[in-house]
Amino acid sequence: METLKKWLSAYPRAKVLDVATGSGAFFGLLLEAEASLDDSVGIDCSERAVAAARGQFAEFPKLHFETMDGATMSFRDASWDVVSLANSLHHLPNRTKVLREMERVLRPGGILILQEMVADGLTHSQLSHRKFHHLSAEIDRKMGIHHRPTYPRDAIRSWVRQHSTLEYAEEWILALPKAEKPNQDETDALFSLMDRVVNRIVDSQTRAPFAAKAARIRAYIEKNGWDACPEMMIVLKKSIPAPR
């Protein structure tokens, strides 16, 4: 968190744009990092996600949420101090186009922050998270929703270095507090969520192999516990053109 605070401290009263914001979790991280925010916006293609984010941050008048595609944003060039994409890279069918749009709307001297959960170097309990997440992704793909498995660290780093036009300024692994062993109520809630994910597939024959995989994941979680996967943070910086 200290590294994130260091970067944000250079942008007092920052105008932040969070792309593919979902329920606005990245703004929660910024507030936890004591970021000083001016009017900031989270965008998402999903109207349901935008409605959830508005409800989540109703007490923060400087945070606004809009339904918008990150690949075709309506914002002017160079209009944001900080642009972010959090845990969404593996959800994007057109990720290079989204990255170009993020770079376009970022002002010179501003930073682009990428946050992405990683698929490698995990403990046994963190593997529980990856197994469930990859099951959810597989079900999404079966239903025609673009959702890749999460990436190893080298794959994230290599893709960003290959496709971004900005300076690769810093990367680190966000230190998440180790979760305590979940109690039975928390475990039951997790398994209930898993059931709801699997039951999105209506046809019983199509659902059967996913239900069997979910049962194996349950057994793994009961044996090894549950902890969140680490998250890779990357900061890219947009250079300020030299005066003519």
DSSP assignment string, 13-60:
TB-EEEET-TTTHHHHHHHHTT--B-SEEEEES-HHHHHHHHHHTTT-
* Per-residue model confidence (pLDDT) at position 69: 96
Are the CB atoms for 42 and 27 separated by under 8 Å?
yes
Range 82-96 average pLDDT:
96
Confirm whether 220 is domain-assigned: no
3-state secondary structure of 65: strand
Closest C-alpha among 117, 100, 94, 105 to residue 25:
117
Determine which of 22-26, 144-148, 227-231, 240-244 has the lowest per-residue pLDDT on average.
240-244
Q: How many domains does the chain have?
A: 1
pTM confidence score: 0.93
- Look up the CATH number of the domain holding residue 48: 3.40.50.150
Confirm whether 163 is domain-assigned: yes
Confirm whether 69 is domain-assigned: yes
Could you read off the pLDDT of 15-44 as tens digits, one per residue? 999 999 999 999 999 999 888 899 999 999
Are the CB atoms for 14 and 8 separated by under 8 Å?
yes
Confirm whether 200 is domain-assigned: no
Confirm whether 206 is domain-assigned: no
Confirm whether 129 is domain-assigned: no
Range 189-207 average pLDDT:
95
Range 163-174 average pLDDT:
97
Please provide the average confidence, as pLDDT, over all residues in the chain. Answer: 94
DSSP bridge pairs for 37:
14
Confirm whether 126 is domain-assigned: no
| Residue tagged 């749009």 (tokens) | 101
Q: Which domain holds residue 80?
A: 2-119+146-176+230-237
Confirm whether 208 is domain-assigned: no
